[in-house]
Each structure stands twice: as C-alpha cells, then as structure tokens.
Structure 1
C-alpha cells in the first residue's frame, strides 16, 4: 500500500550514525528478540525490503532497528507476493489457523478477540479463521496469538517462515489491545498490509510535518514505493492509518496533516480495507485490481462468499459456479443451499 520518497530517503540517511534510536525490544517464549517498525510491525527483513527497498532495509539493519537476514538471497518482487500467499486453502476459502497462548486471556477477552476476527471474516467473505485447541504438528502454517509477557499490539507483515515452525507466527495482542479495530489492524498486517500513510501516493493526500517528529523516529514515516494498492483510492478512514500525532515531539503538534480529514480510527475495518482484502485474497490465481473486481465481483477463479452479491452472470454456466463451496446463487447473492 505504500512507497519511499526521495525526501524520506534523504531524511533517513541524515540521521547521524552514532545517534541513539529508540527501538523497543520484545521477547517471545522461544527467546526470539524483535524490534518494532512503524510502532507495531515486527521488523522482518524480507517484507520490508520488498516494500521499501533493499537500501532502506539495509539502513534499518545498520542502525540496529532490524536484524540482517540469516541467508541473504534475492528479495521477492512485490508482484510475486511470496509472503502474502502462503496461507493454505481449504473448502475454497482461505483458511487461517489460529492458536491462542494458553491462559493469556480471560474468557471474556478471548471471546472478544475471536469476535473481532469473525467480523473481519464476515465483512470480507474471503478468509476464514480456524481456532486450534492445540498447536499443529503437521507443519502447516498458523498464527500464535498471545501477550507473551508484553502489553503491546504487534504483528509481522504477511506470512513469515516462522508460521511453519512449532511455535507458529507470533501476533502480540496485549491487554491494552482489546479494541475491535486494533485487533483487525494487526490481523491485516498479518494478511500482508502495511500502514495506509506509507503508500506511494500519500504525499498527494497528507503532509508529513517532519519538524514535529521525535528525533530518531523519522524512518517510521518513509514511503513504501513498491506497495501496490491495486487501484484503491487513498483511504483516510482506513483502520491501517496512523493518527495525526504519531511520534510527535509534543501532544499538541501534528506529525501528519490530513487536510482536515479524521485519521487513525480503530473502530473496525473501513469499506476500502474490506475491498483491498478481497482484491488480495478472493481469487485462486492471485490478486486482482479494483477494475477487475468492479467488472465481475464473482468469477470461477474469484468465487464469492456467504451473502456476497455479484454471482448472477450471463455466460451460460450455472450461476452457483461463482459461489464458494456449497453456496448457491440466489437473487444475485451467494446463499446456503436450503435443500441440503
């Protein structure tokens, strides 16, 4: 969704090499240590290098914000989406397995997290969460949600190699994260999304007040030049957008001038957030853009989910071929087959 502007690069490069940059370190039960990028993204070389460029990622490594990759190979291009499309498919839906850290939450907290993710599943109609009672032993990828001794809200971007390990891919949901939109925000990172204000066209919609940014935090306002928003318009209402005062030197000074638009909501995913998840995950063959979605919401390759419109086509095929699983097309909507 974002990109790196030359001014941002120069600003980042201008930070003195010996300047102390505040980076919060977090530990997992397995002893892994992570730093945070842009406030809540677990800094991992591959997705950041792919989105922001190798030069930028190497700069983060040099400044101790991120670890160098253990095996430096070719960084995948954004079009390959290698880290975004590793979640397994089952029953013609994207099944994402989720395991919760034992005893990390009260029953009320656990049900709230599940409810927030179920709403994400319901809104988009292209993913489904499967709650696991035990961690998988078959090598299938899964997300491991917990607090892990930290009161933070944080996630990796996309599917990391750790998802295939015995511990799974960690997502940190601390006690202070019990807000529907915040939980959905972290899951959208996990699904492959960066922050809205780092997308390539952001300078046409917001102004970054560099003079108000805390010293050493300038890199968190870089533009991810290689992110493809797939034709979606800039979204001030996105649950992925920073608020106007993020990393401000003073609570009264804005780091982001959003041109009078309210930004930084964490109520729930926005209409455009919803569509972007569909663009990225609905089709078996890979992502599509806004225009392709607008032309045909449902196709044999991009089947529609429960109560989603657009399955009535005029190709001569059974309209139900454009609905997922056993759903049938009824009045242009994919619905359960009542005869079953």
Structure 2
C-alpha cells in the first residue's frame, strides 16, 4: 500500500469525491492540499467546492490558524463574494449564483494564477450536486468537495461517488480514543446496502414520497401516519406485526426511534435508511441496539476510498506518527490509511 498514492485510489475511478473531517482540525485541509498536489502532478483538471468554508487564515469558530488551500492556475472553484480578495489568487468569475450564504452569494470561477483561495459553496445536497455538475461542464475532470461531519451531505451517494475520511489527534487525547471514534464513523458509513433489489426499489419510492414504510414478508406495504421518521418510533411500532420483514425510515435513523421500534417488535426485520449520512447513533447506543437485534441497512451505500491521519492537535499535544498510522491500519485493514504529512 505504501507504493499506492492517494490520487490513484481516487481517480479515474471517481469523478466527484468528498473529503470529510471527523472533527475540527483533524487534518482535512492538509489532506485536500495533498490531493490537489498529486492531481496537479498527474495533470488532472480540478474543481473545488466546500459545504461550508475553507482556506481562510483563521478558523472563525476556534480562532486557530488554518493551512491555506493552494490551487494551480486553471482550477475551477466555488467561493463567495466576500472571499474574492487581492491577497488571494486571481479569479476569472464565470457566474454569480443565486445561492446565498452568510458571507455573500456563491461565485463560480477559475483561478488565473497559482495561489491561495477560499472555497465555499451552498449547503444543501441538491445544490452542491448541481454545482459539481456545472464545474464538470466547465472542464473539471475531478471535483473535490470539502465537507465536514456536521455537514455530511457531501458524503451522500447522491452527491459524491466516494469519500476520503480525515481523522487525527484533535478527535481524542490518546491513540485508542482516536481509533475507536474513527472506527465508529467508518462502521456507520459502512452499513451494508439492502440485498434485495425489489425491497430497495420500494424503499426508494417511499423515501421519495417522504414516507416511512412497513413491509410484510409477502411484500405488502403499509405507510405509518407520519411524514418523517425522526422521533416517530412509537407511531411506527403500532404498525408492526408478526410478518413484518422490513421497515423503511423516511428521515434520520436515531437511537431513540430505533429503540422504540425494537422494543415493540413482534418479528425479526431489517431497518432501512436512505444512506449512512442519515444515521445518527452514538457508539454506545449502536452496540446496545445491535444486542437488541437491530439489523440496519441502507438503500445506497457510501464508498470510503481511504482514511488519512494527522498526529498533531492544535491544542499542543501530538502522537508518534508511525504509532498512530499503524494503529489505524490495524483497526481498519480493509480501508487504505495514509499519513499525508509524513508521506506515508
């Protein structure tokens, strides 16, 4: 694996990829910059977009210094009006969009020189995907989405074809803590897709209608009288029978909803969410629900391309880089793990 570079796992297999941090200061921007550098070396034309804001010199929430996002001439980027500044790389503006953010309207353009930029973008998954497709139409061969765990829409299969997960010392004060918390995120993102294609079709249709569904073993469908499944476990439970085989959740899969459903079950069944970005279950609750018999599935699964680790925390502590790298690789042998700072 040491001979395989991160960009080789990303492209050309995927054309739209999200980079998601497990926490603030987990090394997401460093990972993004490394992918940009490797793509430049291979002559891949890039498009860059963010679900929030990246490239600013100081984090607006934590007041910590942040690494800049450095792009090459010709890179297609989305930013906001307030971030088009003389100290950044020049931008040829193609379009000022109707998407508004607290920092102004989203702007689509091309870097006219090498240099630092701020990238930004709209927040909804639909508009993110629209912007990605527009950047592709302008010549971007690979679009990178700067995402975050609290704005996880960028990792949804509808938006991106794969995800690089950036984790590091900022997540916990010891290596075991970092590994355990990262593994929970990976396990959540790796919930398997529902195996039966006809059930998957039923799930898609129900979710598109904004309805939860209870599917019996004979294929008959009942739609509980609730528009969203968030905190509606009691309502869904009223529709459970001895022949219930599947439950489709129209919204988020939360620990409370699933506990209510499992406590009232009369048979074994599988619970289906749209995708893993809709699953919000803390690690401790996840284990409890599994002991209660939870069989969780998704209609669409997430492609985890790789994990990157950052051994340094902005709070001043750090881990021995190789120790963290080895621990993560041992914990998730099925996922490639890189330390982009050390070039490993």
Q: Same fold (TM over 0.5)?
A: no
TM superposition score normalised by structure 1: 0.26
Higher Rg of the two aligned structures:
2
TM superposition score normalised by structure 2: 0.26
Structure ranking higher in strand proportion: 2
